[in-house]
């Protein structure tokens, strides 16, 4: 079945334009199913799959204490794969049609406050070493644009237009968007490119905008360690992950008066429903401010 899985993954990459991270998630999920089925001597091909076998696989995931969201994602991967096999005529019927995913409650994003953002940026900008200038530029551009960390580390030098003040970002589904950069971020990126990057790169032909100490393109994992270090130095008690800056950007933009459509375009959401979740956070903020300010809010 691994050949069929690989054909499906090629379909996602070539025809659907899915990102490498998304395809890797599908690969992990489907290879795990294939490993489970390979342990069954009666299983030879996808045509041997039935609803009972799939239900038993889900039970093993539950026994291994996978979270509900992870199980739901794996089921979605399986359903997409089997639907592909049906469309290709390999399967006559989809055995996952009646396979239900666990219900997942909506979890709100967790932004940090503007004060905490300033502390984080001040921590990164405290030094003048090449690494400090790079870290400052990375944090500034993430908070200025709301792009995903995978999008940031994928940036090349020619994706930045400092004179016009925008960045060209390649998002999910190979969709390109242009995002404006404010002056503070522009200055930080300019300092990094002019002063720090020449001291970090090993190969002058390296296209990556942000590089590590070996002069190679910085990875998501590398940025995560950098962010964690600066959050600790800044004394931020709230959990800070690479996605926290994206959440904070969206929330603070809406609080500042930006429209939902504008924020949707900046974030690269294909559906405005994905952006609307941030209105729940801003409404909570407005309610809190109302409670503080209204003279009768605390009366009984």
The catalytic site residues sit at 148, 172, 243, 246, 269, 278
Residue with tokens 């559906």: 271
- On the 0-12 / 13-18 / 19+ scale of CB atoms within 10 A, 90 is middle
Measured distance CA(25)–CA(9) in Å, rounded: 10
Listed in sequence order, the residues at least 6 apart from 263 whose beta carbon sits closer than 8 Å to its beta carbon are 146, 250, 253, 254, 275, 278
Closest CA to 265 of 203, 177, 201: 177
Helix axes 130-145, 220-233, angle to 10 degrees: 100
Report residue 158 as tokens. Answer: 């020619």
Backbone phi and psi for residue 49, each to the nearest 5 degrees, phi listed first: -70, 140
Centre a 10 Å sphere on the Cβ of residue 58 and count the other Cβ atoms it contains: 18
């Amino acid at each position: 079945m691994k050949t069929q899985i690989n054909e499906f993954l090629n379909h996602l990459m070539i025809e659907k334009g899915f990102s490498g991270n998304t395809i890797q998630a599908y690969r992990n999920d489907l290879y795990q199913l294939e490993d489970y089925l390979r342990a069954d001597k009666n299983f030879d091909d996808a045509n041997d799959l039935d609803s009972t076998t799939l239900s038993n696989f889900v039970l093993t995931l539950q026994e291994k204490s996978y979270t509900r969201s992870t199980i739901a994602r794996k089921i979605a991967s399986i359903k997409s794969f089997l639907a592909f096999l049906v469309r290709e005529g390999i399967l006559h019927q989809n055995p996952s049609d009646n396979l239900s995913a666990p219900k997942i409650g909506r979890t709100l994003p967790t932004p940090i406050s503007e004060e905490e953002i300033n502390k984080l940026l001040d921590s990164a900008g405290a030094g003048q070493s090449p690494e400090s200038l790079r870290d400052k530029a990375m944090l500034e551009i993430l908070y200025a644009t709301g792009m995903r960390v995978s999008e940031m580390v994928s940036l090349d030098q020619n994706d930045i237009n400092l004179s016009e003040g925008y960045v060209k970002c390649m998002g999910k589904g190979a969709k390109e968007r242009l995002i404006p950069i404010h002056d503070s971020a522009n200055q930080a990126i300019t300092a990094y490119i002019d002063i720090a990057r020449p001291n970090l790169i090993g190969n002058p032909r390296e296209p990556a905008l942000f590089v590590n100490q070996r002069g190679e393109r910085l990875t998501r994992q590398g940025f995560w360690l950098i962010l964690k270090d600066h959050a600790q130095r800044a004394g931020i008690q709230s959990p800070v992950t690479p996605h926290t800056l994206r959440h904070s950007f969206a929330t603070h933009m809406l609080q500042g008066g930006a429209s939902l459509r504008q924020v949707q375009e900046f974030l690269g959401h294909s559906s405005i429903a994905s952006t609307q979740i941030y209105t729940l956070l801003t409404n909570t903020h407005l309610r809190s401010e109302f409670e503080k300010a209204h003279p009768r809010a605390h009366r009984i």
